[in-house]
Amino acid sequence: MSAPGESFPQTRLSVLAAARSGDAAERGRALDLLFAAYWKPIYKYLRLKFTQAPQDAQDLTQGFFAELLERDLLSRFDPAKSRLRTYLRVCADSFALNEIKAASRQKRGADFLHVALDFSAAEEELRTQAIDPASIPSPESLEEFFEKEWIRSLFASAVAELQKLCDSRGKQKAFAMFEAYDLDGEENISYADLGAKHGLPVTDVNNQIAWARREFRRIAMEQLHALCGSEEEFTREAKTLFGETAR
Amino acid sequence: MKFLNDKALERLRGSGVPDLSGTRYELRELIARGGMGVVYAADDEKLNRRVALKVLDAASANPDLTQRLLREARVLAQLEHPGIVPVHDVGALPDGRVFYTMKFVEGLRLDQHVVKVDSLPERLRLFLRICDAVAFAHARGVLHRDLKPANVMVGPFGEVLVMDWGLAKVLRETSESNDTVFARFAKENPGDEETQATAVTGHGTVLGTPGYMSPEQERGETEKIDVRSDVFSLGALLKFVAAGTEGNKGQRLPRALQAICEKATAKQPELRYGSVSELASDVSRHLDGLPVLAYSENILERLVRFYKRHQIAILLITAYLVTRFLVLYFFHR
Amino acid sequence: MNKILLGLLLGTVLGAIDGGTAYFTPSVRAMIVGIVIGSTFKGLIAGIAAGIFARKVNSVPLGILFGLFVGFVLALLVALKQHGYYFEIILPGSLVGMIVGWATQKYGAGVQTKHA
């Protein structure tokens, strides 16, 4: 089972196939992957849609993943009918509605999860994004919100993986420059500024950032591939992820 | 994990968009996304003109596809013909991806254009211009292998441009001339032979578009693909062009034209036209009201065709003879 | 063969044939030689005119119309001189003009441009 902070495993099978595997270790790894990718988007989504207080939203999130395991909801997923993230969102919707109606929610722990669920960090992010959970957006905007959070989660995971890769290859400068230029997006920073800061010529800055971007995309695509139910879904999601229009 | 704000997300999502810094081009907008690459409109700042820039999709860039894109640019560079989109430049982006620029074609795709052309002869003349370009490529030893309406552009003045030579195959010696693309390739790129190209596209790999692909292409028999495969595609294109508007799709074509289409799209290559020139020649004869090789007329059809070809002369002479007869009959009985 | 020469030759031949048909009108059979010569000359003039027009204007409908006009005018002049046979002269004469007008548009070499 992967613990938080460990290197992201290269899953050959998609997470769905692995989750149905007879190999317990493989199944566990696949589920960790799934939960790591989805817990935050699900939490934020439930927080917004059902205007739940942070603690209630936490309970719902943990409860949903427990339900996912207990009722083996993944086995009912059909890639031909929808995307995996849409399926999970709809299942989460259904679960939350039932729980709220029952109003006698059982508090469920998250011992079965081997992924760190930093709910306070998720709350902080919601505040940073200046989204007011008290105002309920339209269904379409909620779907878009969920999609964006899913992308954010995937990209954050890919960035973390990229950082580990850079550390392991002694390319910390490349990551630092990529972070400054593409992630932090410091105002008016140029390749020349970065070159001056790191003692590199502009061409080297160019090449290293390009390398980091390529690696980031490769990692993100690998993670995406693992999270998709079929090749068709992967092709569609790749287009969603990386958009089509030029600047 | 680091929190990525919305702006960071935008930058990361757009990281597939080509960064043209350091080149002489400025990106404008996405034009098309194909199997192998993406085509953008860009401005050439040195020559102050709009170009089309083709680059591999960042998500699929790999050494094999890079080689294919370079090869496509080189093949295009050897084919200088008014009906073949000219390539202007080739280079590499800061992120290492190879690109090439070509003429920015303002116009409509063939499938969009033909619906506006009511006249069958005009649509057939358009088809002949496509044949000109393909015949030229064949004379230089290059097969297109993906001829279809979406790969032909029609400019504002009716000029035709055959596009997307990404699946082009450079044949081994097709003529005695040293001026074939293959001969130049072999001289300038000793390792880059047709077998290498086959390795890139893969023997047995099915390339092309259903409906316009020859049977041998569909079966992946790349070694059997020759000019007649392009003839097949042109035959399918001719059927499309001849039908024209959606409303005409159910209408029967003239029998001679139908026979030309059938001959061009025969399942066996031996039964097709041997070259694009032969196909074009037959279409041209049909346009001129002459008998075509693909169809044997009966006497009646021959007479009808003769009449259609000389309609005005026949009518004038007949009018004269009738007038003469009437004058003699009524005035001088 | 250029268009003017084509018009001249064709006009001459058709004019002669047209004149020759007067043989079938007994009342004028005696003057057949004069009629043929006159008709031939009429055809020649019409042919040259149509040829010149065809070099300037590239349009089959306009060529036919021009031939009709020239044929009509020349035939009218002849008919007026004859003080009769208007229908028998003007109608076929106009048609001959149309035939020559069409032929000079469709066939014959156009203006040759000299290259520097």
Catalytic residue, chosen from B43, B132, B146, B226, is: B146
pLDDT recorded at residue B228: 96
**Interface size between B and C, measured as CB pairs under 8 A:** 36
- Kindly report the number of other CB atoms within 10 A of residue B6's CB atom: 10
- Given an 8 Å threshold on Cβ–Cβ distance, is C87 in contact with B327? yes
Told to judge if B89 belongs to the known catalytic residues of this protein, a careful annotator would answer no
Q: Is the pLDDT of residue B175 over 80?
A: no
pLDDT on residue A7: 32
Selecting from B312, B317, B324 the residue whose C-beta is nearest the C-beta of C21 gives B324
Query: Contacts of residue C97 in chain B, CB cutoff 8 Å?
Result: none
Helices C86-106 & C60-82 angle (0-180, nearest 10): 150
Q: Tell me the C-alpha distance between A60 and A47, whole Å.
A: 9
The CATH number of domain B17-104, selected from 3.10.20.30, 3.90.550.10, 3.30.200.20, 3.40.50.300: 3.30.200.20
pTM score, whole prediction: 0.62
The shortest CB-CB distance from C96 to any of B320, B327, B332 is to B320
Does domain B106-296 correspond to CATH entry 3.20.20.70? Answer: no
This model of the complex carries an ipTM of 0.83
- Report residue B274's pLDDT band, with 50, 70 and 90 as the boundaries: very high
Residues of B with CB under 8 A from a CB of A: 1-9, 11-19, 21-22, 27-30, 33, 40, 58-59, 61, 93-96
Q: What is the pLDDT of residues B145-172, one digit of tens each?
A: 999 999 999 998 889 999 988 888 888 6
Residue of chain C with shortest Cα separation from B333? C25
Q: How confident is the model at residue B35 (pLDDT cuts 50, 70, 90)?
A: low
Q: Do C95 and B323 touch (CB under 8 A)?
A: yes
Does B106-296 match B17-104 at the fold level?
Answer: no
Q: Is residue A8 part of a domain?
A: no
pLDDT of residue C115: 47
| pLDDT value of residue C83 | 75
Cα B41 to Cα B331: distance, rounded to the nearest angstrom:
76
Query: Mind listing the pLDDT tens digit for each residue in B43-69?
Result: 999 999 999 999 987 555 567 778 888
- Residues in chain A with CB shorter than 8 Å from the CB of B6 are 129, 148
The rounded mean pLDDT for chain C is: 88
Which residues of chain A are under the pLDDT cut of 70?
1-13, 103-116, 130-137, 186-188, 243-247
Domain membership of residue A181 as a residue range: 15-240
Query: Quick one: DSSP state of residue C109?
Result: B
What is the per-residue pLDDT for B20? 85
Sorting pLDDT into bands at 50, 70 and 90, what band is B11? confident
Rg, Å, chain C Cα set = 15
- Answer with the residue of higher pLDDT: B64 or B192: B64
Q: What is the pLDDT of residues B104-113, one digit of tens each?
A: 999 999 999 9
Assess whether pLDDT exceeds 70 at residue B247.
no
Of B34-38, B186-190, B273-277, C19-23, give the range with the top mean pLDDT.
B273-277
List CB contacts (< 8 A) between B325 and chain C.
none
Output the pLDDT for position A81.
85
Pick the closest to residue B65 from B90, B40, B99, B91 (CA basis): B99
Does A109 fall in a domain? yes
Check whether B330 has a pLDDT greater than 60: yes
Give residue B260's pLDDT band: very low, low, confident or very high (50, 70, 90). Answer: very high
Number of domains in chain A: 1
Q: Please judge whether A210 and B94 are an interchain contact, meaning their C-beta atoms are less than 8 angstroms apart.
A: yes
Q: How far apart are CA B111 and CA B104, in angstroms?
A: 19
> What is the per-residue pLDDT for A79?
81
Cβ-Cβ contacts under 8 Å, B320 against chain C: 92, 95-96, 99
Provide the residue count of chain A.
247
Q: What is the per-residue pLDDT for B88?
A: 95
Question: A132 vs C38, which has greater pLDDT?
Answer: C38
Task: Determine which of A233-237, B199-203, C75-79, C80-84 has the lowest per-residue pLDDT on average.
Answer: B199-203
